[in-house]
Amino acid sequence: MPETTTMTSRSRTRHRMTLVAALVMCMVFGLSIAPAAAQQTTLEVLSFLLTNRTIITGDFDRDAQAAAATRDTIATIVAQEISTLPVSSSSGGFAYRIDPTLGAVVRASDSFGTFYTERSLTAGRHRASFGIGYQNTLYNTIDGYDLRDGTLVSTAATLNDQQFDAETITLRLRTDVMTLTGNYGLTNRFDVGLAVPFVRMNLQGERVDTYRGEAFFQATGSASASGLGDMVMRLKYNVFDRGASGVSLGLETRLPTGDEDNLLGSGDFTFAPRFIGSVEGDTVGFHGELSYTLNTDTNTLGYGGALTIAATPRFTIVGELFGRRYDGLGRLTSTTVPHPRLAGVATTRLTGVEETTDRLLLIGGIKWNVTGTWLLTANVLRPLTDDGLNAGWVPTVAFDYSFGS
Amino acid sequence: MAQPLSEHDEELGSIDDFAPEQPAVQPIDDDLELHADLEPVPLRLPDTRRGAGNARSWFVGMLVSLIVGGVWLGWRAIPPAAAPGETTAKPIASSTVERQPIERPGIAPPVPSSSEPDRAVSVDRSTPPVEKPRPAPVEKPQSAPVEKPRSASVEAPRPPVEKPRSASVEAPRPPVEKPRPAPVEPPRSAPVAGSPGKAVEGPSPPPSLADASRASPPLPGPATAPAPSPPLPVPTGEEVPSALVAAPEPAPASPPATTEPRSSGGASRSGVEVTDNVAIQDLLGRYRTAFGALDVASVRRVWPSVNQRSLERAFRQLEEQDLSFFSCTINVAGVRAEATCVGSSTFIPTVGSRSPQSGPSQWNFKLSKKSAGPWLIDEAQAR
């Protein structure tokens, strides 16, 4: 009988693994279909839209420099935004451990954990989880400038502070990110994780010149690209635990697997040590995280705090504040210089400057154990700061499946 | 508008030329001609969109994935058919597990009450210590120091042993059905380590479903067990960890000695010690039963100092639990005792996988009793 049980269990495990593999393959194929190579990359289209074509500024070199700086800043911001993905594991919520003082088996945590902020609890030895998440983002503003209402001035000419000719840009930037995640507990205290994002980037833009109140449609450009984003590898080691509370150290590495020219990835290898602490009671848990991302261009200080409420054994409510401070990420700004030849005329250009950028996000959502070890995660994200690339509300839905003993 | 033009007077003339009615910046006006030309035919970069097919493929991919996921979810609800070559003698599908917890492999049904005779303990009780006819005692070689205090393990329950007082309890056991060779004292020097451990086999009554599901694979079933010569039969065919099995009796000529007073002890003292062992076994059995029944009140009766709130919370997280003690080693020291039990435990959680999972496999108990009172658990640790 035990052999039979083992064999049947193995057979069932094989079935599950086959189905997981099939699901993943479907996702990958669905996302990676690209009929033909694009004639222009997303970056080139963005550069085209941002480069002044009509206003005689008298300094076309400076026009080009400003357009390039703006493009690079937007590209960096977009890449950073896309690389901010929730990849934390929820499998700790399904783990059962022995309480030595009680002599009984207890659930490792009554909650299913957090979204972006890590928690100290690890999944448990030989416990694995796979997840698939989808996030749709329609960006509205960048560094406080509205992207969609046609008020983002790329180049303008003013006479005695009165603007009489201006080129404005409208950008409709949308991303769909589907992330496959996996987490495995090598030991009771040591987790390894992997996140593979597939990104679809859609950019549509137009440039309009408004001369003395009359608008002249100048150009449109659009680009769409999809493919692998920057993969994330994660390690987490629990150095101290008391129940579900404890302290863990983590390490996150992002690989430049995304196409930088199509804004699917940052193009940089990053390395981020993390410090994670959690205090969990029977129902309520507090989690905090501090990280520092080392990058060739931009170092980032990350911090986050999360509150989890285990409303029922199968339902967890999560609220998070997640912040990042980017050193030298770049900000969009407008610079005004006098026209080199025309008295009283000044040229305003949109450009990018290296400045520290602070971002703060508010996330709220739920994790619901639908059945077995299937977990449905749904949350919305709301930026609280103007810096960077921001959307109104960003919804994320994910399914997570855990197994193992 | 009448401001002097300091730098570009000669080049541009008067600033009045910049009047809105008459645009003064001629180069700009020249460009505006271009604007007019551009208006009807807006500049358009070659469309780099990868076609509507790409969007469709995206959503088709998602749709396929959702369908596959849905099918998978639905399929999981159907008990899997046995694969070729598999013999499914007992249904183990999750749906069956929910409806028929008794038949769940590895999980015993909850014992309805602690007063019901526990499998291990009842068997132990059924083997009264002194009544069996035994051969005459034979002197053991004196290589083993007689005075080694309370560190030895013996088969228990068995006739009172004078010294040492600790006992290794074979559990569970059925009622003894025939006279058996006299229990023997273990080698006194190192009764556990020195014993060539082996699985104890013997005839046994047909095991219950829970027993069958609990049986370990390495040992043959009761029907195939050879004719025994062991001191006690073990019904479930469970393999007893060798380190905790009492030393096998070398020969029928082994000294019974269990009821014989030894150098210092008396029959009354031996009787007390055996009574303690039996009482502790009974206590551990009730502990096991209470945990299996997820009954906090019953646990408190044997372990009054248990953290009730934590235990209630722990039991709420489990749907079923079953504890089996393969063997226990009991060391009694006056009104205190320690017991180490090796066994297995399985549980089905209320949240998460419906498959039975493994729990603790070793328990360490600290026990005490007040004068003339019952033995109670002071502390229990599991790992």
Own/partner contacts of B49-57, CB < 8 Å, gap of 24 or more, are: B49/A222, B49/A223, B49/A224, B50/A34, B50/A35, B50/A36, B50/A38, B50/A224, B50/A225, B50/A226, B51/A35, B51/A36, B53/A33, B53/A35, B54/A33, B54/A34, B54/A35, B54/A224, B54/A226, B55/A224, B57/A30, B57/A33
Residue A354: per-residue pLDDT: 83
pLDDT at A378 over 90: yes
Residue A247: per-residue pLDDT: 96
**Angle at CA A149, nearest 5°, toward A147 and A154?**
55
- Over residues A106-119, mean pLDDT: 89
Q: pLDDT tens digit string along A180-191?
A: 999 999 998 999
Q: pLDDT tens digit string along A227-275?
A: 999 999 999 999 998 888 999 999 999 999 999 889 898 888 889 999 9
The verdict on B37 touching A (C-beta cutoff 8 Å) is no
Burial of A333 by CB count in 10 Å (0-12 exposed, 13-18 middle, 19+ buried)? middle
A-facing residues of B in 254-293 (CB < 8 A) are 291
- Of all residues in chain A, what percent carry a pLDDT higher than 70? 88
Q: Are A232 and A254 within 8 A, CB to CB?
A: yes
Q: Are A20 and A180 within 8 A, CB to CB?
A: no
Q: Are B318 and B159 within 8 A, CB to CB?
A: no
The verdict on A27 touching B (C-beta cutoff 8 Å) is yes
Residue B267: per-residue pLDDT: 52
Average pLDDT score over chain A: 85
The verdict on B307 touching A (C-beta cutoff 8 Å) is yes
Helix, strand, or coil here: B287? helix
Residue B183: per-residue pLDDT: 38
- 8 Å CB contact of A30 and B75: no
Least confident of A33-42, A78-87, A197-206, B240-249: B240-249
Query: Which residues of chain B neighbour A216 with C-beta distances below 8 Å?
Result: 35, 38-39
Closest residue to A2, CB basis, from B35, B50, B217: B217
Q: Can you list the positions of beta strands (E) in chain B?
A: 43-44, 155-156, 167-170, 318-333, 336-349, 357-358, 362-369, 375-382
Residue B338: per-residue pLDDT: 92
Cα torsion at B4, B7, B13, B16 (round to 10°)?
A: -40
CA distance A145 to chain B (A): 24
CB contacts < 8 A, A to B, total 244
B-facing residues of A in 151-190 (CB < 8 A) are 157, 159, 164-165, 176, 178
A301: which 2 tokens?
A: 């200080």
Residue A60: per-residue pLDDT: 80
- 8 Å CB contact of B73 and A105: no
Alpha-carbon distance of B4 to B334, in angstroms, equals 114
B52: which 2 tokens?
A: 């509507």
Q: Can you list the positions of beta strands (E) in B111-238?
A: 155-156, 167-170
**Nearest Cα to Cα of residue B159 among B278, B316, B249, B30:** B278
Residue B75: per-residue pLDDT: 53
Q: pLDDT tens digit string along A336-366?
A: 888 888 888 888 888 888 888 898 999 999 9
Query: Which residues of chain A neighbour B47 with C-beta distances below 8 Å?
Result: 222
pLDDT at A225 over 90: yes
B-facing residues of A in 333-392 (CB < 8 A) are 341-345, 369, 371-374
Residue A304: per-residue pLDDT: 93
The verdict on B80 touching A (C-beta cutoff 8 Å) is yes
pLDDT at A196 over 90: yes
B319: which 2 tokens?
A: 């749907």
pLDDT in tens, chain B (383 residues): 334 434 444 443 333 443 344 333 333 344 434 344 444 334 343 343 344 445 555 666 666 666 666 656 555 544 443 333 333 333 222 222 233 333 333 333 333 333 333 333 333 333 333 343 444 443 444 443 333 334 333 333 333 334 434 444 444 443 334 344 443 333 333 333 333 333 333 333 333 334 433 433 333 333 333 333 333 333 333 333 333 333 333 333 333 333 233 334 455 556 666 778 888 999 999 999 999 999 999 999 999 999 998 899 899 989 998 888 888 999 988 889 999 999 888 899 888 888 888 877 889 999 998 777 888 999 888 88
Q: Which band of pLDDT confidence, cut at 50, 70 and 90, is reported for residue A101?
A: confident
H/E run at residue A192: strand A190-211
Task: For residue B340, give every residue at least 6 positions away whose Cβ sits within 8 Å of its Cβ, in sequence order, or none.
Answer: B244, B328, B329, B362, B363, B364, B365
CA distance A39 to chain B (A): 6
The verdict on B6 touching A (C-beta cutoff 8 Å) is yes
- 8 Å CB contact of B105 and A9: no
